[in-house]
Amino acid sequence: MAGVIKLVCLVLACMIVAGPITANAAKISCEAVHNTLAPCIVYVIQGGAIPPACCTGARNLYSMAHTTADRQQICGCIKKNARLVGSVLNPGADRAAGLPKACGVNISYKISFSTKCK
């Protein structure tokens, strides 16, 4: 269960990484990232329909990341948790990787544990 939560966070954080570059300090906490993405956990674990709150959270997190520093902070929070999972592949990885498109968040790269945050 903890591994799935971390994977969900990683996927959605990666959705944030793309965007305009600025030098402002990040203003988004890891707690906010976790709380915003929590509604996606059941979908990633079990499949089925994506809960509306999951996509709302993904879009909200995407819109909160105004700067490169914000996106890097979000990604860093997720990577920090994802490291605990190790190299074990989660059966929900494909569902997690598909969340950006399914939720209408347009990103230009593949979601994976190897995504670079900087």
pLDDT tens by residue, 41-60: 888 778 899 999 999 999 99
The residue with tokens 């890891």 is 30
Three-state secondary structure call for residue 114: coil
Question: What pLDDT, on a 0 to 100 scale, did the predictor assign at position 49?
Answer: 96
Three-state secondary structure call for residue 75: helix
Alpha carbon distance 28, 88 (integer Å): 28
Q: What is the domain class of 2-102 according to CATH?
A: mainly alpha
**Total-model pTM:** 0.69
Alpha carbon distance 31, 18 (integer Å): 21
Taking 50 as the pLDDT cut, the residues of the chain under it are: 18-23, 84-89
Question: Do 53 and 108 touch, CB atoms closer than 8 A?
Answer: no
The residue with tokens 């569902």 is 95
Instruction: Count CB-CB contacts under 10 A for residue 37.
Output: 27
Question: What pLDDT, on a 0 to 100 scale, did the predictor assign at position 50?
Answer: 96
Instruction: Count CB-CB contacts under 10 A for residue 53.
Output: 14
